[in-house]
Amino acid sequence: MWLSKKFIMKTNIHPAYEIIEVTCSCGNKFETRSNLCKPLSTDVCNECHPFYTGKQKILNTGGRIQRFADRFGAFGKTPYVVLAE
Ligand SMILES: [Zn+2]
């Protein structure tokens, strides 16, 4: 048959392709297939990436947001100066 000649893969040239477990930094775990053949850890996944969650992730290290608000917070508001008449 022409089928058997054309579609049978060659042996001993393909890397191993196994089911591996992926662990995200958020704690989420899922399985995928890879020729890595060992557990994989990722920084971000579809459970915690802002694109999928719709929530913004704010990294407030060392009070940076507060310092920004202290310095530039006045630009967001309209300061009124009441002039004496
Ligand atoms: Zn995640």
Question: Which residue ranges are tagged as binding site for Zn(2+)?
Answer: 24, 26, 45, 48
For the entire predicted model, the pTM comes to 0.52
Res 64: pLDDT: 77
Distance 1 CA to ligand 1 centre (A): 49
Surrounding residues of ion ligand 1, Cβ less than 5 A: 24, 26, 28, 45, 47-48
Tens-place pLDDT, residues 26-85: 999 999 999 999 999 999 999 988 888 888 766 667 777 778 888 887 665 655 555 665
Q: Which CATH architecture has domain 13-75?
A: Irregular (4.10)
Among candidates 31, 13, 24, which has minimal Cα distance to 47?
A: 24
DSSP the chain: -HHHHHHSPPSS-SPP-EEEEEEETTS-EEEEEESS-S-EEES--TTT-HHHH--------TTHHHHHHHHHGGGTS----PPP-
Distance 62 CA to ligand 1 centre (A): 23
Q: Which two tokens stand for residue 36?
A: 């890595």
Pairing verdict, β 29-34 and 18-24: antiparallel
Distance 49 CA to ligand 1 centre (A): 7
What confidence category does residue 4 fall into, taking pLDDT thresholds of 50, 70 and 90? low
Task: Scan for tokens 């775990």, then name that residue.
Answer: 29
